Structure 1
Amino acid sequence: MEKILNKKGSVYFKELGWNKLLQHIEKQKPAKLFILVDNNTKTHCLPYFLEKLGADENIPTITIPTGEEHKNIASCLKVWNSLSEKNADRNSIVINLGGGVVTDLGGFVAATFKRGLTFINIPTTLLAMVDASVGGKTGVDLGHLKNQIGVIKQPEMVILDTNFLNTLPKEHLYSGFAEMLKHGLIYSEEYWERIKNLTVDNKVELDKLIFDSVAIKNEIVTKDPFETNLRKTLNYGHTLGHGIESHFLESNSKPTLLHGEAVAIGLILATFISSESIGFPKNRLNAVSETILNYFPKVNFTQNDIEHVIKLLVFDKKNSNGKVLFVLLENIGCPHINCIVSNDLIFKAFEYYKNF
C-alpha cells in the first residue's frame, strides 16, 4: 500500500511519497519551485509540507482564497500574474497543496502558463485524495457552472499523506467519502460492502479504503483517459449532483453545499432512476439510500429548486447533440452510460428522496 504506478501521475503514499518528491526535485533541479495554497492550507498544511521537504519559508508561495466560489478565471489570472512577476520559466515546478479547488485550478494554471509547466499534486482533503488529484482533469468553473473550462493534463506525480486529514472538519471528510461510496456502487459489490459501514474515525481502515478508492479510479482512468466510454461511469450521481451544487452555489437564499453533499443526493436520485428505468433492485435501492442518509442529512427542495436544477442539466459535460446523458446502474458494479432520462422521472426521483 505504497504506490500506484503510471507512465505519468503515479501516486505515492506517505513517506515513500515525500522521498519521491525530494528525489524528483534533486534530479530535475527546477529553476524555481512554486507552492500554490489557499488560505486554509497555508495555515494548516504548509508548515507540515515545509517540514517534510526540509525547506525554509523562502519558497515562493501563491495563495488563493478558500472555496468553490473562487475556482474561476479571475483566480487563474491572479496566479498567472504571480508566476509571471516571480519569473517562472518552463523549467519551474508548481506544487499544488490543497483540496480539489487548488489541485484543479493549479493544474489548469500550470498546464496553460507558457504552454505548460510541470506540476505536482499534494491533496490535503479526502475529496481531493480520492477524486480530484487523480486522472488529470484540471479546470475551473464558469460562473456557477461546474468545471466548464479546463484541460486533461496529468501531474508529474501525486503525493498522498493522510496525516493532512487531521486538519479537516468532519463535514469535509464526509464530502470526500461520498466519492468513495460512488466508487463502490459503480465498481464492485465487495468494495461497496467494505465502504458502506466505515467510520471515518477508524484511521487504519480509512487509509486502506483510500488506497483502494484511488486504485479504482486509477484503473478506470488508465483504460479510458479521455472519457470516451468507461471513464464516464465516474460521473455516477454527478449529473444531478453538479446541478444541485451549482443551484445552491448561485442562490442567495440557499446554503452552499459541499461537493460531496450534493453528490450524495445525486447518488440517491440516480439509483432511484436506475431502479425505475433499467431494473436496479428495489430492495437495494432502499438499502443504498439508507446508507447514504446515515452519513448525509436530508436537504429540502422546492418545486422551483427542482425545475432550476433540471434547467442546469443542459450544461453537463457528458451531453451529446443536445441530449442530457446519465450514468445509471443495473446493479452494484454494473453501470450503463449514455442513458436518457425524462424530466418526469427526475421529479419522481426527488419525490422519492423527500419521502424516504
Structure 2
Amino acid sequence: MDSITYKNCKIHFNTTCYTAINAHIQQHNFSKIFILVDENTHTHCLPLFLEQLHTDIAIEIIEIESGEIHKTIDTCVGVWNTLSDLDADRKSLMINIGGGVITDLGGFVACTFKRGIAYVNVPTTLLSMVDASVGGKTGVDLGHLKNQIGVISDPDMVLIDPNFLHTLPANQMRSGLAEMLKHGLISSDAYWQKFQELSALTLADLDMLIYESVIIKKNVVDEDPFEDGIRKTLNYGHTLGHAIESYFLSNPNKTTLLHGEAIVIGMILACYISTELTNFPKALTDSIKTLFISYYGKVTINKDEYAPIMELLKYDKKNNHGNINFVLLEAIGKPKIDCKVDNDIIIDAFEYYAS
C-alpha cells in the first residue's frame, strides 16, 4: 500500500512502517526516544515494535494506566514530570503506541512539553487506526466530558500495522468498526455497501477497508483542517454519541461503553432525526438500525436518563453561540452540518432506538 501524506505528516502501512521510522530516526539526530504505552500495549505490542526498531539512541519506556478514565490532565502531569526526570529535551522523540487514549494524550503531552517535541503515533486498535491516526487532534477529557482540552498538532508520522489487531478483543474491534461504518454513511454508498455482510469480511478485506477509511478522513481533513465546515461531518453520530458515552462514564450504576458502542447509538439516533428533518429515507433508517443492533446489540437507556444525557449536549465542541449543532444525512454520502434539533425530536429518537 502506498503511504499517504497530509500536510507535513506521512501515514505508513504494514512493513513500510518500520523502514520509515528507522530512516526517520537516523535522519534527525534525536537525543533520546521515549515510548508511551499502557499496561496492555506494553505487554502485547511493544515487543513487536522494538524488534523492528534499529537504533543506538537511548530508549525510555513510560507506562500509564489504560482506559478513558485515565485520559486526564493528571495523567499528563505524571508523564511531563517523568519526561523531565529522565532529562528529555527539545530534541527528544516521543512514540505513542496504543489506542486513541494513548495517541490523543501522548500527542498532547509531546506538543506541549518544552513547547513541543517531535512525536510519532503507532495506533494499535482499529478505532485509532481509522480515526485518531488522521487529523492531528490531541487532548484529554475534562472530568467525564470528552476531549475538552487539547490542540491540533500533527505527528511526524503515523505507523499503521494491522498485525497489532491480533491482540484485540472482539468488542474493541467492533468499537473501531463503528467509525468505519460512519465513514461509509457520510462519504459514499459504494463504501457503505462493503459493510452489509460483516460476517463475510476477511482480514485481507479489513486491511483494504482500513486504507480506504484513512483516505476518506484524510481528504476531509485536507479540505478543512480546523473544522470550520466539512470536517464537522466526521462528527456524524457523535453529538448524542459523546453525550451517551460521557453519561455512562460518569454514572456508577452504568457499565462504561466503548467509544464505538456509544457512537453506534448516536448514529441510529441521528438517522431517525435525519428522517424527521432532512428527508433521509425511513426504510434506510430502519435497515441501518437493524444492521447495527444485530452486530452491537441494544443498550438500555431509561426514559429518566434522556434529560441528563441531553443536558450534556451543551458541552459538544461543535456548538457555537449557544446553539447545539447536529450533523444529519440527506442521503448516504450526503451529510448536512449545523442542523438545529428540538428536544422533542431527540426524545422521539431515543424512543425509536428503544422500540
Task: With the length of structure 1 as denominator, give the TM-score of the two structures.
Answer: 0.98
Q: Which residue of 2 aligns with 1:239?
A: 239
Letter in 2 for 1:2: D
* Superposition map of 1:315-354 within 5 A: 315-354=315-354
**Contact 1:181–1:196 (CA under 8 A) maintained in structure 2:** no
- Once residues 25 and 69 of structure 1 are traced to their aligned partners in structure 2, the CA distance between those partners, rounded to angstroms, is 33
After TM superposition, give the deviation of residue 54 of structure 1 in Å.
Answer: 3.8
Q: Which residue of 2 aligns with 1:256?
A: 256
Q: Which runs of 5+ in 2 are unaligned?
A: none
**Contact 1:34–1:94 (CA under 8 A) maintained in structure 2:** yes
Q: Which residue of 1 aligns with 2:120?
A: 120
**Contact 2:22–2:55 (CA under 8 A) maintained in structure 1:** no
Letter in 2 for 1:40: N
Q: Deviations over 1:269-302 (max 9, x none)?
A: 0000000111001111111111111211100111
Q: Which residue of 2 aligns with 1:280?
A: 280
* Superposition map of 1:206-225 within 5 A: 206-225=206-225
- Once residues 288 and 328 of structure 1 are traced to their aligned partners in structure 2, the CA distance between those partners, rounded to angstroms, is 14
Cα 1:51/1:200, change in 2 over 3 Å: farther
- Once residues 218 and 171 of structure 1 are traced to their aligned partners in structure 2, the CA distance between those partners, rounded to angstroms, is 26
Letter in 1 for 2:87: N
Q: Which residue of 1 aligns with 2:72?
A: 72
After TM superposition, give the deviation of residue 86 of structure 1 in Å.
Answer: 0.7
RMSD: 1.3
Letter in 2 for 1:215: I
Task: With the length of structure 2 as denominator, give the TM-score of the two structures.
Answer: 0.98
Q: Which residue of 2 aligns with 1:41?
A: 41
**Worse-matched range after superposition: 107-116 or 55-64:** 55-64
Cα 1:231/1:200, change in 2 over 3 Å: farther
After TM superposition, give the deviation of residue 306 of structure 1 in Å.
Answer: 1.1
- Once residues 26 and 231 of structure 1 are traced to their aligned partners in structure 2, the CA distance between those partners, rounded to angstroms, is 35
* Fraction of identical pairs, as percent: 55
Letter in 2 for 1:230: I
Q: How many residues align?
A: 355
Cα 1:56/1:306, change in 2 over 3 Å: farther
**Contact 1:173–1:200 (CA under 8 A) maintained in structure 2:** no
Cα 1:240/1:105, change in 2 over 3 Å: same
Q: Which residue of 2 aligns with 1:229?
A: 229
Q: Deviations over 1:181-226 (max 9, x none)?
A: 0000000000000123233861000001000001100010011000
Q: Which residue of 2 aligns with 1:150?
A: 150
- Give the secondary structure class of the aligned counterpart of 2:97: strand
**Worse-matched range after superposition: 282-291 or 56-65:** 56-65
* Superposition map of 1:53-132 within 5 A: 53-54=53-54, 59-132=59-132
**Contact 1:34–1:92 (CA under 8 A) maintained in structure 2:** yes
Q: Which residue of 2 aligns with 1:28?
A: 28
Letter in 1 for 2:339: C
**Worse-matched range after superposition: 56-65 or 215-224:** 56-65
After TM superposition, give the deviation of residue 56 of structure 1 in Å.
Answer: 8.7
- Give the secondary structure class of the aligned counterpart of 1:287: helix
- Give the secondary structure class of the aligned counterpart of 1:225: coil
Q: Which residue of 2 aligns with 1:292?
A: 292
**Worse-matched range after superposition: 190-199 or 215-224:** 190-199
**Contact 2:122–2:160 (CA under 8 A) maintained in structure 1:** yes
**Contact 1:50–1:56 (CA under 8 A) maintained in structure 2:** no
- Once residues 174 and 298 of structure 2 are traced to their aligned partners in structure 1, the CA distance between those partners, rounded to angstroms, is 14
